[in-house]
Amino acid sequence: SISPNLRALILAGVAVPLQAIFPRMAVPLPWGHHVGPLALPQPLHELPRGNRKNFPKFKGDGKVHPDEHIAAFIVACGVLGVEHEDVSVRLFIETLQDNAADWFYHLPA
């Protein structure tokens, strides 16, 4: 699991060494060792202050279909009143765990 401080750096668009995210990673990735920032329009809107613990989590383990996760995520965004795309993108990243998070953080920048 990613520490809150490391997650904040990633969500702020700071390039973070992948070894910090995946300490067990032994093989360097072909595109480099950093997660590049997301290309989001500036300024970023504030993340909702409401309880985000109820957001669905997606592990990518085959138990939940990705479409089901996205549908549940959209409902959760509606409950919190999320209106801006940059907010939903940053919240979506928080829902990824295990295999799904590994997949996301290994995408080329």
**Residue 31 confidence class, pLDDT cut points 50, 70, 90:** very low
Q: What angle do CA 39, 100, 69 make, to 5 degrees?
A: 90
Give me the pLDDT at residue 58, please.
Answer: 93
pTM, 2 dp: 0.62
Span 40-58, pLDDT tens digits: 778 889 988 877 888 999 9
Contact 52, 87 (CB under 8 A): no
* pLDDT exceeds cutoff 60 at 80: yes
Q: Which two tokens stand for residue 51?
A: 């309880």
Q: What does the CA dihedral 6, 97, 39, 24 come to, rounded to 10 degrees?
A: 60
In three-state form (DSSP H/G/I as H, E/B as E, the rest C), the secondary structure along 73-86 is: HHHHHHHHCCCCHH
Tally of residues, the chain: 109
**Residue 2 confidence class, pLDDT cut points 50, 70, 90:** low
More confident site: 82 or 12: 82
